[in-house]
Amino acid sequence: MKLYNYWRSSASWRVRIALNLKGIAYEYVAVNLVADGGQQKSDAYRALNPMAQVPTLVVEENGVARTLTQSVAIVEYLEERYPSPALLPRDPYLRARTRALVEVVNAGIQPLQNLEPQRYVREELKGDAAAFTKHFIGRGMLALEALAAETAGAYLVGDEVTLADLCLVPQMFAARRFGVDPATLPTLARVEAACNALAAFQSARPEHQPDAVPA
Ligand SMILES: N[C@@H](CCC(=O)N[C@@H](CS)C(=O)NCC(=O)O)C(=O)O
């Protein structure tokens, strides 16, 4: 498998954790989102991912290379192809609760912290992009905290790692980067620490990737 990704991309990070948890080897293909005006915008990369975003996973099935985009769809594909360890609870209600937490991050928060909305607020609207981003991350994280407090055990939903935890850890990193106070998110901070104690989460961290830029 080839994972086109970027060290600090939260959506890429989710997929790296899933690959690590499931013990799947992959080739790391770095797509620099900031160099050269953004390598994700090149024609060659857009041919793989028309949204011009990372991650993209290229898998070989029966000798044919197949391309997958959207981190949650990619993780669901990995889940179906490599079911162990399971990243979704068996119980339908808890499965839906897991997906609800995933969507709070994937649909409700992350799109608003992306490079393009920030550029638009800063350059076109002449606004304060950092304040805009912090506002939407903070608002979404409080909703995530309230929902998670109802289902959390050791992890966000019960005592096993789920897809929701794969979304949480990169999102907490982004929240801190934009100045959201983790003290307002006690359940999320506790679960984040539990996840970060696991080797699969550690090796997926941005600073451990080959294209990481030291602070
Ligand atoms: N929903 C998409 C989001 C992908 C996404 O937003 N990727 C960001 C990095 S985390 C990106 O490539 N941004 C490039 C840009 O905005 O130009 C997914 O989960 O894969």
Q: Are the C-beta atoms of residues 148 and 191 closer than 8 Å to each other? A: yes
Got the DSSP string for 181-211?
A: -GGG-HHHHHHHHHHHTSHHHHTTSGGGSTT
Taken in order of first residue, the domains within the chain and their CATH numbers are 2-84 (3.40.30.10), 92-200 (1.20.1050.10)
pLDDT of residue 111: 96
* Ordered strands of the 2-5 beta sheet: 27-30, 2-5, 56-61, 64-69
* Centroid of chain to Cα 145: 17
Question: Token pair of 132, please?
Answer: 């805009």
Atom 18 of ligand 1, residue of closest alpha carbon: 70
For residues 21-37, average pLDDT: 96
Query: Which atom of ligand 1 approaches the CA of 14 most closely?
Result: 19
pLDDT of residue 106: 98
pLDDT-based confidence at residue 214 (cuts at 50, 70, 90): confident
Query: Which atom of ligand 1 approaches the CA of 74 most closely?
Result: 20
Atom 14 of ligand 1, residue of closest alpha carbon: 53
Q: What is the pLDDT of residues 92-150, one digit of tens each?
A: 999 999 999 999 999 999 999 999 999 999 999 999 999 999 999 999 999 999 999 99
Ligand 1 pocket at CB < 6 A = 9-11, 33, 38, 40, 52-55, 70-72, 106, 114-116
91 Cα to the center of ligand 1, angstroms: 30
pLDDT of residue 215: 79
Look over the chain and give the mean of its residue pLDDT values, rounded to a whole number.
Answer: 97
Task: Please report, as a single letter, which amino acid is at residue 147.
Answer: L
pLDDT-based confidence at residue 192 (cuts at 50, 70, 90): very high
pLDDT-based confidence at residue 175 (cuts at 50, 70, 90): very high
Q: Which of 5, 7, 42, 54 to mutate to test the pocket of ligand 1 (most atoms within 8 A of CB)?
A: 54
Question: What are φ and ψ of residue 19, in 5° steps?
Answer: -60, -40
